[in-house]
């Protein structure tokens, strides 16, 4: 079992696609080269094109004599810089990362400033419309628990049921600004504005499983609440509608990161 982090910018998502570079295709290729076997990984989360990960999970079978714990080091020597294996371990042969009880945590990052910040552009969605984090948190509270999330699922889902369980949602603003010498009131403010650069709003969602695009639709809906287009209470009605049209837009992929997994082995 590998814990895999990646910058999804350059990849067509996790899942194998003919003629396209995906996280799965790179892992299969590097693992096959390393072991001399034909390796096919099974991923826990088949993230979309442009989505990032800090801790996705991949499992595979091998007869290799390389100790499980050493795979991470050996693989990282072959992987491109934008994919890193953060840990490797042996698991039971019948362990399947999508067919087990787990808690998945996603973060959706929003750069909420007057102008986009170039060093954030690949890892946070930018909007200059000021978002009210308190309203977003009040709205998010209605989503916690077991619900039918049909309104928060892409219409073309193949899921047998749209009932899912969300364990927690938190929305907060990161200032990222440490203490700085108080500026003279005659001083130019250009510097001070720049010092307050990483005003990022983070939506962290943890749950037992997510429908296709569910986190991005939740983020898109909470942004509508944050800009006061939708009152927080309306989220109750959106859930009840069981209709994708009732919810907000699907937020762009670049803001989304699969942070990690927890499960029992």
Q: Annotated active-site positions, please?
A: 48
SS3 136: helix
For the sheet containing 83-88, what is the strand order? 42-43, 52-59, 2-6, 83-88
Burial class (CB in 10 A: 0-12, 13-18, 19+), 139: buried
Residue placing its CB nearer to a copy of itself in the complex, 44 or 251: 44
Shortest distance in whole angstroms from residue 226 CB to a copy of itself: 18
What whole-number distance in Å separates Cα of residue 1 and Cα of residue 253?
26
Residue ranges that bind a copy of itself, judged by CB under 8 A: 1, 3, 5-7, 52, 54-55, 57, 72, 76, 81-87, 89, 102-103, 105, 114-119, 121-123, 167-168, 170, 172, 174, 176, 178-181, 183-184, 186-188, 190-195, 197, 202, 204, 206, 257, 259-265
Rounded to a whole number of angstroms, the distance between the first and last alpha carbons of the chain is 11
Tell me how far, at minimum, the Cβ of 62 lies from a copy of itself, in Å. 18
Dihedral angle of Cα 209, 9, 152, 165, to the nearest 10 degrees: 20
Kindly tell me which of 66 and 195 has the beta carbon lying closer to a copy of itself: 195
CB of 52 to a copy of itself, least distance (A): 5
Q: Which residue number, 86 or 234, has a Cβ lying nearer to a copy of itself?
A: 86
Nearest to residue 109, comparing CAs of 5, 9, 256, 221? 256
Distance in Å, CB of 22 to a copy of itself, minimum: 15
Q: How many CB atoms lie within 10 A of CB 179?
A: 5
- What whole-number distance in Å separates Cα of residue 105 and Cα of residue 205? 6
Instruction: Rank residues 127 and 151 by Cβ distance to a copy of itself and give the closer one.
Output: 127
């Amino acid at each position: 079992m590998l814990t895999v982090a990646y910058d999804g910018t350059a990849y067509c998502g996790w899942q194998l696609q003919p003629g396209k570079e995906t996280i799965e295709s790179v892992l299969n290729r590097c693992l096959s080269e390393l072991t001399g076997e034909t390796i096919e990984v099974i991923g826990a989360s088949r993230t979309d094109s442009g989505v990032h990960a800090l801790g996705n999970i991949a499992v595979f079978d091998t007869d290799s004599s390389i100790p499980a714990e050493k795979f991470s080091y050996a693989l990282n020597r072959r992987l491109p810089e934008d994919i890193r294996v953060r840990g490797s371990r042996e698991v039971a042969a019948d362990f399947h990362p999508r067919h087990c009880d787990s808690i998945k945590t996603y973060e959706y990052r929003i750069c909420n400033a007057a102008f986009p910040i170039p060093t954030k552009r690949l890892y946070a969605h930018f909007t200059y419309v000021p978002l009210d984090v308190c309203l977003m948190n009040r709205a998010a509270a209605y989503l916690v628990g077991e619900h039918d999330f049909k309104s928060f699922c892409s219409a073309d889902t193949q899921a047998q049921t749209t009932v899912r369980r969300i364990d927690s949602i938190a929305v907060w603003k990161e200032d990222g600004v440490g203490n700085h010498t108080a500026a003279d009131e005659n001083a130019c403010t250009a510097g001070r504005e720049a010092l307050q650069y990483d005003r990022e709003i983070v939506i962290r969602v943890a749950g037992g499983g997510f429908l296709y695009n569910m986190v991005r639709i939740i983020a898109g809906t909470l942004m509508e609440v944050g800009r006061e287009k939708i009152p927080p209470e309306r989220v109750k009605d959106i859930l009840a509608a069981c209709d994708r049209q009732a919810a907000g837009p699907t937020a762009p992929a670049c803001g989304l990161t699969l942070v990690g997994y927890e499960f029992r082995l």
